[in-house]
């Protein structure tokens, strides 16, 4: 690509702005005129070419199947219109569409991606500049100009053409492509039942009617008459948005989600981002209205992030989308998306993307589920939805196209499915499932305050895995003995900067207060890998799961770890507290981490405060620790097996990769032998061991773990009822004998053998 600076005839910035405004004014007159959409498009390209000092101006429109069709041109052969087609990625025009980026070439025909189409007659034109036509964050076409002689296009000229392309996006959406046969969905008739597959962002089942979240008000005026007035309107809208966010923080204070304050405060900081605001001001200076400028910057960001897979970056793009939509609302004179009329009592919110502030504005009593075309499990909206107990399915392709307002929906977030206009048999199956679930919930509720004791008198401690203050009411609901694992990283991930000791102390104190005297084990900050902090330098790691994460970050940044340990101790206020270090790979790491804790205890004593009774543990996640057990057992007060990571490292198989995740089963002889050996050494050393991975909350797997000797299981709230029902019907002694036999098997899995044992002995699994 040729540099986009230093044009043959330099264009200064002020002249470029004047040229852009003149061109936009002429285009506005064309768009307001009569004629068919095709007629208007032909007039538009004829206006653009001379204003841009080009011999050719062509407009390509995206067609079904990712094909770019030449819809209008001046300078090329008109017979090529609707005849010339390029696939996305084919030729220079296809490359612009594939990358969603403007490109400029002094000598286009020598570029390796150049694709010659003889019917266009373009062989006489050397230079080319093209920009994507963007709307809704998607590429809708390409606008290009060409010149006969070599020409270096300036950055100002690229900016002007991008602004024009935005106006064309509205024309395309409003009817140009509609003149021709067009398929808008992936071959599914509009009113027939269908199923959309996605991924579960928060589990659960729900049935309701669709409410489509359309955050962008219609923008009718695109070209500004008075840029100064448009800048004033935009600045006023941003100020008004800040005020509404403050009011929203106050309204949501009673939700029991302290993290909502930090999330919305993060929004305030993003809304003051100079780069974002500056680009919108530049678009206004180029001649756009405030609304059109916001749209342009939003579309450009969405297109450029379209292929980004990093969950944190995707989540931040959703933040900017949410803010842009909120600014547009305030520009239209409204303050909320949820004030557009009466909403149904059982509503399923359907959106392309959603910000947490937008979600919190809907009536929680009416909202029963969320369906998103985008979304990640670490996004702010997913965190808030989890705290509110809402089933959420993300990555539902074309949901906004396939779902009509008030369509009946069944959301199966456990399996990542959305049933649109479900047939009667699907509805019947769902309601039967719901009835069975309700009956189970009633039965489990009756067990909540009964002891977790096996049929032959063995007591098992059941504890809660938590990561939000909103999780802690489950302690009472489930009858949990305590918090076996409090994940501290979520509050760090939703804040714009590292929280200071005072903020952390307040949060941990509230956790201990809500625990009501039950024991709490805090895991120190476990980030890295797929859990990214916005204020940390993002390293490019070939294998982040084996990279700089967990205790490795804490020991390399001891000041950060010491602040967190200091907060634990101060929050305890004399109460017992548990501290657990993650990702320990060798005893020396545990000793170094425990030494930092000892220093903080000394510091507390120097301040005249008595250090609280503190139990210090290590997570067994790295297989290397299995060969260091005697040493770690002499130094740790307890151990916690993180089975999620331990098993994937043990089998060298990524549990998140569907190609290899089934290569191992937790219910297999190698796993049993590893755990049995660990438990035997821990019993001899009189050191308690807990299990806090996902398998602790699954009845069949939990049954095997109890049979191996685990007496402390920590799990998500949903696992309590099924696991306690299993424990109270389980005879441990015969299971222990049976597992001794299975440990010598060479099978890939002994899952079916354990199911048979449960059936033979009346164990509820």
Q: Is 200 found in the same domain as 171?
A: no
590: in domain: no
Are 142 and 201 members of one domain? no
Q: How many CB atoms lie within 10 A of CB 130?
A: 26
Q: Which residues pair with 580 in a beta bridge?
A: 523, 617
User: Mean pLDDT: which of 52-56, 193-197, 636-640 is highest?
Assistant: 636-640
What are 208's strand-pairing partners? 409
Q: Are residues 31 and 141 in the same domain?
A: yes
Cα 138 to the center of its chain, rounded Å: 19
**Count H helices, E strands: the chain?**
26, 22
**How long is the chain?**
765
Strand partners, 459: 453
pLDDT of residue 179: 47
Q: Locate tokens 């952390």: which residue?
A: 504
Checking 181-190 for CB contacts under 8 A at 24+ apart, the result is 182/63, 182/64, 183/64, 184/401, 185/398, 185/401, 185/402, 186/397, 186/398, 188/402, 190/404
Query: Would the pLDDT of 93 be above 70?
Result: yes
CB 638 within 8 A of CB 620: no
State the residue range of the domain holding 137: 13-179
**pLDDT reported for residue 7:** 39
DSSP H/E element including 609: none
Q: Give the domain-ending residue among 400, 428, 456.
A: 428
CB 164 within 8 A of CB 143: yes
Q: Are 196 and 418 in contact, with CB atoms under 8 Å apart?
A: yes
- What is the per-residue pLDDT across 501-553, written as a single tens digit (0 to 9) for each? 998 999 999 999 999 999 999 999 987 665 666 566 655 666 767 878 889 98
The pair of three-digit structure tokens given for residue 624, joined into one six-digit string = 């290397």
Residues 87 and 213 in one domain: no
In a domain, 704, yes or no: no
Q: Are 56 and 127 members of one domain?
A: yes
Distance CA 416, CA 517 (A): 38
Does a structural domain hold residue 339? Answer: yes
Is residue 208 in a domain?
yes
- Which pLDDT score is estimated for 529? 61
Q: How far is CA 591 from CA 526, 578, 594, 630, 664, in A?
A: 18, 16, 5, 14, 33
DSSP state of 426: H
β 614-620/638-641 pair status: parallel
In sequence order, the 6+-apart residues with CB closer than 8 A to the CB of 757 are 734, 735, 738, 763
pLDDT at 564 over 90: yes
Q: With contact defined as beta carbons under 8 Å apart, do 400 and 351 qualify?
A: yes
Residues identified as active-site: 380, 692
How does DSSP classify residue 223? B
DSSP state of 26: H
Look at 492 and 696; give whichever has higher pLDDT: 696
My answer on whether 199 and 171 are in the same domain is no
Q: If you average pLDDT over residues 419-439, what whole number do you get?
A: 84
Are the CB atoms for 304 and 321 separated by under 8 Å? Answer: no
Question: What are the b/e assignments for 407-416, b being 16+ CB within 10 Å?
Answer: bbbbbbbeeb
H or E stretch at 221: none
In the DSSP assignment, the letter for residue 495 is S
166 has a pLDDT exceeding 90 = no
Structural domain contains residue 638: no
Percent of the chain surpassing pLDDT 90: 43
Rounded to whole angstroms, how far apart are CA atoms 524 and 579?
A: 7
Residue 147: which residues within 8 A CB-CB, separation 6 or more?
Answer: 53, 54, 55, 56, 125, 126, 127
Query: Would you place residue 104 in the very low, low, confident or very high pLDDT band (cuts 50, 70, 90)?
Result: very high
Torsions phi, psi for 528 (to 5 deg): 100, 175
Are 101 and 209 members of one domain? no
At 667-700, the pLDDT tens digits run 999 999 999 999 999 999 999 999 998 899 999 9
Q: What is the CA radius of gyration of the chain?
A: 30
Q: What does each C-alpha distance from 268 to 112, 271, 402, 503 come to in angstroms?
A: 46, 5, 34, 18
Is 97 part of a structural domain of the chain?
A: yes
How far is the C-alpha of 396 from the C-alpha of 354, rounded, in Å? 13
Judge whether 82 lies within some domain: yes
Which 3 state secondary structure label does DSSP give 470? helix
pLDDT, tens only, 245-295: 777 666 655 444 455 555 565 555 666 666 777 888 888 887 888 888 888
Answer whether residue 352 shows pLDDT above 70: yes
Strand order in the sheet with 103-105: 85-87, 67-74, 56-63, 138-147, 127-135, 103-105
**Rounded Cα–Cα distance for residues 560 and 46 (Å):** 62
Per-residue pLDDT, averaged over 432-450, amounts to: 83
Please report the pLDDT score of residue 355 as a whole number.
72
| Structural domain ending residue among the three candidates 179, 213, 228 | 179
Residue 694's pLDDT is 85
Last residue of a domain, one of 179, 203, 231: 179
What is the DSSP secondary-structure string of 35-104? S-HHHHHHHHHHHHHHHTT-SEEEEEEEETTTEEEEEEEESS-GGGTTT-EEETTSHHHHHHHHHTS-EE
pLDDT reported for residue 189: 39
More confident residue, 323 or 215: 323
Query: Are 150 and 285 contained in the same domain?
Result: no
Q: How many domains does the chain have?
A: 2
- Measure the CA angle with vertex 674, ends 673 and 678; round to 5°: 115
Question: Are 287 and 144 contained in the same domain?
Answer: no
Instruction: Tell me the average pLDDT across 569-573.
Output: 95
CB 317 within 8 A of CB 327: no
Determine contact, residues 598/575, Cβ cutoff 8 Å: no
Q: Indicate if 215 and 81 belong to the same structural domain.
A: no
Are residue 153 and residue 207 in the same domain, yes or no?
Answer: no
What is the spatial distance between Cα 671 and Cα 644, in angstroms, rounded to a whole number? 12
218 token code pair: 């219609």
Contact criterion met (CB below 8 Å) for 437 and 714: no
Smallest Cα–Cα separation from 268: which of 251, 253, 247?
247
The residues, any chain, with a CB within 8 Å of residue 556's CB and separated by 6 or more, are: 548
- pLDDT, average across residues 226-244: 85
Domain contains 381: yes
CA atoms within 13 A on the CB side of 170: 19
C-alpha separations of 232 from 35, 281, 333 in Å: 36, 10, 14
The 3-state DSSP class for residue 451 equals: coil
Please indicate whether residue 220 or residue 223 has the higher confidence score (pLDDT): 223
Cα 39 to Cα 43, 93, 140, 171, 173: the distances in Å are 6, 23, 19, 12, 15
Higher pLDDT: 678 or 123? It is 678
292-296, 359-363, 463-467: the lowest-pLDDT one: 359-363
The tokens for 309 are 């897979």
Residue ranges of alpha helices (H) inside 100-226 are 155-171
3-state secondary structure of 274: helix
Is the predicted pLDDT of residue 60 greater than 80, yes or no?
yes
Task: Check whether residue 175 and residue 202 sit in a common domain.
Answer: no
CATH assignment at residue 158? 3.30.450.40
Does residue 384 surpass a pLDDT of 80?
A: no
Q: How confident is the model at residue 662 (pLDDT cuts 50, 70, 90)?
A: confident
CATH, residue 390: 3.50.30.10
């Amino acid at each position: 690509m040729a540099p986009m600076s230093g044009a043959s005839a330099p264009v200064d910035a002020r002249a470029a702005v004047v040229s852009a405004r003149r061109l936009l004014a002429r285009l506005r007159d064309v768009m307001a005129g009569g004629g068919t959409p095709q007629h208007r498009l032909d007039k538009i390209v004829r206006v653009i070419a001379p204003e841009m000092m080009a011999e050719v101006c062509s407009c390509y429109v995206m067609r079904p199947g990712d094909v770019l069709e030449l819809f209008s041109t001046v300078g090329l052969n008109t017979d090529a219109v609707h005849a010339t087609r390029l696939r996305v990625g084919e030729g220079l025009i296809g490359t612009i569409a594939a990358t969603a980026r403007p490109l400029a070439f002094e000598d286009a025909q020598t570029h390796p991606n150049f694709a010659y189409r003889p019917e266009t007659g373009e062989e006489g034109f050397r230079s080319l500049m093209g920009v994507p036509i963007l709307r809704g964050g998607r590429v809708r076409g390409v606008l290009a100009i060409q010149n006969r002689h070599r020409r270096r296009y300036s950055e100002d000229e690229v900016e002007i053409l991008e602004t024009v392309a935005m106006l064309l996006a509205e024309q395309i959406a409003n009817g140009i492509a509609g003149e021709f046969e067009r398929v808008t969905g992936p071959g599914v008739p509009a009113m027939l039942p269908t199923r959309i597959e996605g991924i579960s962002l928060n589990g659960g089942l729900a049935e309701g009617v669709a409410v489509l979240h359309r955050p962008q008000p219609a923008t009718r005026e695109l070209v500004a008459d008075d840029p100064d007035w448009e800048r004033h309107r935009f600045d006023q809208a941003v100020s008004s948005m800040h005020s509404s966010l403050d009011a929203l923080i106050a309204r949501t204070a009673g939700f029991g989600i302290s993290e909502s304050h930090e999330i919305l405060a993060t929004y305030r900081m993003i809304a003051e981002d100079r780069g974002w605001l500056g680009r919108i001001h530049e678009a206004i200076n180029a001649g756009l209205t405030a609304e059109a400028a916001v749209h342009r910057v939003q579309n450009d960001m969405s297109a450029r992030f379209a292929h980004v897979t990093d969950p944190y970056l995707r989540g931040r793009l959703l933040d900017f989308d949410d803010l842009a939509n909120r600014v547009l609302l305030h520009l239209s004179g409204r303050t909320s998306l949820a004030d557009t009329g009466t909403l149904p009592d059982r509503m399923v919110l359907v959106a392309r993307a959603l910000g947490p502030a937008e979600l919190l504005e809907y009536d929680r009593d009416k909202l029963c589920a969320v369906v998103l075309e985008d979304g990640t499990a670490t996004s702010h909206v997913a965190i808030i939805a989890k705290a509110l107990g809402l089933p959420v399915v993300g990555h539902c392709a074309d949901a906004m196209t396939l779902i009509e307002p008030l369509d009946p929906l069944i959301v199966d977030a456990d399996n990542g499915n959305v049933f649109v206009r479900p047939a009667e048999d699907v509805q019947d199956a769902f309601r039967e499932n719901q009835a069975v679930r309700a009956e189970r919930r009633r039965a489990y509720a009756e067990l909540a305050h009964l002891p977790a004791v096996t049929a032959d008198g063995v007591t098992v401690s059941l504890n809660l895995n938590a990561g939000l203050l909103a999780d802690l009411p489950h302690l009472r609901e489930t009858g949990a003995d305590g918090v076996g694992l409090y994940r501290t990283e979520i509050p760090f991930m939703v804040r714009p900067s590292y929280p200071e000791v005072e903020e952390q102390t307040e949060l941990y104190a509230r956790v201990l207060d809500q625990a009501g005297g039950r024991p709490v084990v805090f895991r120190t900050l476990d980030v890295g890998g797929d859990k990214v902090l916005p204020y940390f330098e993002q390293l490019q790691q070939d294998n982040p799961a084996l990279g700089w994460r967990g205790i490795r970050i804490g020991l390399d940044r001891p000041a950060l770890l010491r602040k967190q340990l200091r907060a634990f101790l101060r929050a305890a206020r004399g109460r017992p507290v548990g501290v657990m270090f993650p990702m320990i790979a060798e005893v020396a790491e545990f000793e170094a981490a425990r030494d930092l804790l000892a220093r903080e205890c000394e510091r507390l004593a120097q301040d005249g405060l008595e250090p609280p009774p503190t139990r210090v543990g290590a997570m067994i996640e790295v297989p290397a620790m299995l060969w260091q057990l005697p040493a770690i057992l002499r130094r740790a007060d307890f151990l916690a097996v993180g089975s999620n990571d331990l098993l994937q490292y043990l089998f060298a198989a990524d549990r998140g990769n569907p190609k290899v995740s089934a290569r191992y089963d937790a219910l297999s002889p190698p796993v049993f032998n590893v755990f049995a050996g660990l438990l035997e050494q821990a019993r001899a050393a009189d050191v308690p061991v807990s299990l806090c991975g996902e398998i602790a909350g699954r009845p069949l797997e939990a049954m095997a773990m109890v049979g191996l000797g685990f007496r402390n299981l920590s799990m998500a709230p949903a696992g309590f009822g099924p696991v306690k029902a299993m424990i109270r019907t389980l005879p441990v002694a015969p299971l222990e004998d049976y597992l001794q036999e299975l440990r010598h098997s060479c099978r890939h899995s002994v899952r079916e053998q354990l199911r048979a044992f449960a059936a033979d002995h009346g164990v509820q699994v």
